[in-house]
Structure 1
Amino acid sequence: MALIGQPAGDSTAMAPAPGWAGVGTVTLRELSGHYDLAGVRRCDQHVLVLVTVGHGQHEIDFRPYLCRPGTLLWVRPGQVIRHNGGAGLDAIVVCWEPSAVAEVADDPALLDGGLGPACWQLAGEDEDAVINEVSQLVVDCQRHRSGTLAAGLLRHQLAVLLLRIALLPGRRPAERNDAYVRFRLEVEKDFTQTRRVEEYAERMGYSVRTVTRACLAATGRSAKQVIDDRVTLEAMRLLAVTDDPIADIGRRLGFPEPTNFGRFFHREAGTSPGAFRSAQRPPPRNAFPSQRRPAAGDLHGRPTPRVAGEA
């Protein structure tokens, strides 16, 4: 099936889907016509990127992924992304707010807490299935721009797309009773407050040995290393996408003394915080379309068309 996408240069394609649906689509080519995508940007919503033509590279949380037709990327809220694609690279981009799926999907593992894979190279029936779902979502985002029925349709279509992704080979949905997943979710809540494995284990009702064994089985790294990895990643994100003083970033991550933060970062990242920041480009803001509820004064319930990134 031929992929149905929005025509490049069509300004109406940049307008969001119904604001109360929290779902929108756009092409990478359209975004590149308005923004410099080579800078690091931090996402405040979920972003799926389905490459349709060309070859290039995307970075998610500073990890590069080679892209070609059929490559599917998933960027979760809070993660950072940088586009290093060639001139011929294009993709369909699907954006949604977490609440858009929560309202129609009872399984919290659908969004996997950010623990699932970030990249797939689709092929065969899996590729056809995902392309069909994305294509229909693109069409309906353009056809159905207002009303509660339209919002429900888009949310359910998005949930079906995510279920298909959950069934892709090599992707095990996160199970809340899994010790490693529970540990990761607890760390996500409080890694800026404590880096002690004992505190997390006690909170979970497990022994430190059980938590460490679960982390080693899942990642090959100890529980303490998993915590330090998360702190380091957050430091890298903040250094790349903010102009905050390095000392302030250290304090936010639980290091009252700047020298302690500098030593920790150098040990974990292999470079100083200042050198890492210097290697990153300033991020353009709001590079992906934001979804908002339409103004109350619109008697027909239609959102006012906006260009992606408009405040």
Structure 2
Amino acid sequence: MLTLDQRHRAAALPLPAPLWAGVGTCALPDTALADPRTPPQRLPNHLLALTTTGHGVIEIDFTSRECRPGTLLWVRPGQAVKVAEGTGLDAAMVCWRPGLLPPGQTAGLDTDDPVGPGRWQLTGEDEDAVINEFAQLAVDCERHSAGEAAAALLRHQLAVLLLRITLIAADDLPDMSTVESRTFARFRRMLEEGHATSRRVEDYAAQVGCSVRTLTRASLAVTGRTAKQVVDDRVALEARRLLACTPLSVAEVGRRLGFAEPTNFGRFFHREVGASPGVFRTNATSDGRHVPVPRVPPDDRRDPLAGARHTA
């Protein structure tokens, strides 16, 4: 259990954030995330966390990720992150602004994909290389605080780190060779932009330029879920993020997601998550572990981490 002094110190610590060049480094104990009592935080930036010592659990979007030395996590902007528990857990962190790097600078990896691969257990040469990239970036972030050349150097080093991750994650990247995968990718982009205004599959099919049947077939091929289930999954995730990470009332969260009546939102949330919004919020922001889980767990095809060659 944390002492009063430790809790006060944790409350005063900042969240990870980029520095002047759009990229920054820090260590987990120097951030507010280090305190397991800190409620889930929704970061506006990308965050890479490489566990260096200890063991623990970091939750990303309410899913537990076991961490031990060599575990690399990628938290995407908007995802909810929380250190749920840890024994001597420490991690080196790199964070950067969305859109900082040109698309062609990290070939094969969409750095701003909101649901891209997010966990690897590094070993051997992969681990050594990533540790070296983290260390060099930290040194140069400390040494340089201004200048066009320094900013270019830091961004270049970030690109090198992400290119290494691209090679490590090669088997995890989506296969875009089929019509279904490309259709689903367009659907997912539209859904990311429009989930707060529409839950109608017909609307997304029209935007993508296909029939509802075609969109559902593509969703089933890629995720094992129908297009309607994918839409409801995304809305339920956003509801959980807002309930856990903001002071918005339950009614305000519902209105933000297009529910005119709180009772309709409550029924939707309970059906998808398995608990009422109030109960979920209490569990998510308490000292305990998150209890509610989605009613229908995603299968392995929906989880970009499943079957990865670098997972433990």
**TM-score relative to the length of structure 2:** 0.79
> Which letter does structure 1 place at the counterpart of 2:167?
L
Cα distance in 1 for residues equivalent to 2:17 and 2:255 = 40
Q: Which residue of 2 aligns with 1:152?
A: 152
Q: Does 1:188 align with 2:192?
A: yes
Q: Which residue of 2 aligns with 1:172?
A: 173
RMSD: 2.8
> Which letter does structure 2 place at the counterpart of 1:120?
W
Cα distance in 2 for residues equivalent to 1:27 and 1:65 = 18
**TM-score relative to the length of structure 1:** 0.80
Look up the SS of the partner of 1:180 in the other structure. Answer: helix
Look up the SS of the partner of 2:93 in the other structure. Answer: strand
Q: 1:211 aligns with which of 200, 209, 215?
A: 215
Cα distance in 2 for residues equivalent to 1:181 and 1:219 = 11
Q: 1:73 to 1:55 in 2, by over 3 A?
A: same
Look up the SS of the partner of 2:220 in the other structure. Answer: helix
**Larger RCO, structure (CA 8 Å, separation 6 or more):** 1
Q: Which residue of 1 aligns with 2:63?
A: 63
TM-superposed CA distance for 1:32, in Å, is: 5.2
Post-superposition Cα deviations, 1:170-191, rounded to whole Å, max 9, x if no partner, equal: 3215859821111111000001
Q: Which residue of 2 aligns with 1:110?
A: 110
| Identity among equivalent pairs (%) | 55
Q: Does 1:122 align with 2:122?
A: yes
Corresponding residue pairs, total: 271
Post-superposition Cα deviations, 1:57-114, rounded to whole Å, max 9, x if no partner, equal: 0000000000000000111111110002324110001111013223873769431511
Q: Does 1:264 align with 2:265?
A: no
Q: Which residue of 2 aligns with 1:251?
A: 255
Look up the SS of the partner of 2:39 in the other structure. Answer: coil
Q: Does 1:99 align with 2:99?
A: yes
Post-superposition Cα deviations, 1:121-155, rounded to whole Å, max 9, x if no partner, equal: 11222222222211211111112222111100011
For structure 2, the 5+ residue unaligned runs are: 1-13, 288-312
> Which letter does structure 1 place at the counterpart of 2:173?
R
Q: Which residue of 1 aligns with 2:90?
A: 90
TM-superposed CA distance for 1:243, in Å, is: 1.8
Q: Which residue of 2 aligns with 1:239?
A: 243
Within 5 Å, which residues of 2 pair with 1:210-229?
210-229=214-233
> Which letter does structure 1 place at the counterpart of 2:172?
R
Comparing 16-25 with 51-60, which one deviates more in the overlay? 16-25
Q: Which residue of 2 aligns with 1:24?
A: 24
Q: 1:280 aligns with which of 281, 284, 288?
A: 284
Cα distance in 2 for residues equivalent to 1:99 and 1:151 = 15
Post-superposition Cα deviations, 1:205-243, rounded to whole Å, max 9, x if no partner, equal: 122222212211221111110000000000001111122
Look up the SS of the partner of 1:167 in the other structure. Answer: helix
Cα distance in 2 for residues equivalent to 1:17 and 1:187 = 27
Contact 1:187 1:227 in 2 (8 A): yes
Cα distance in 2 for residues equivalent to 1:162 and 1:104 = 12
Contact 1:56 1:89 in 2 (8 A): yes
Q: Which residue of 1 aligns with 2:45?
A: 45
TM-superposed CA distance for 1:192, in Å, is: 0.9
> Which letter does structure 1 place at the counterpart of 2:242?
L
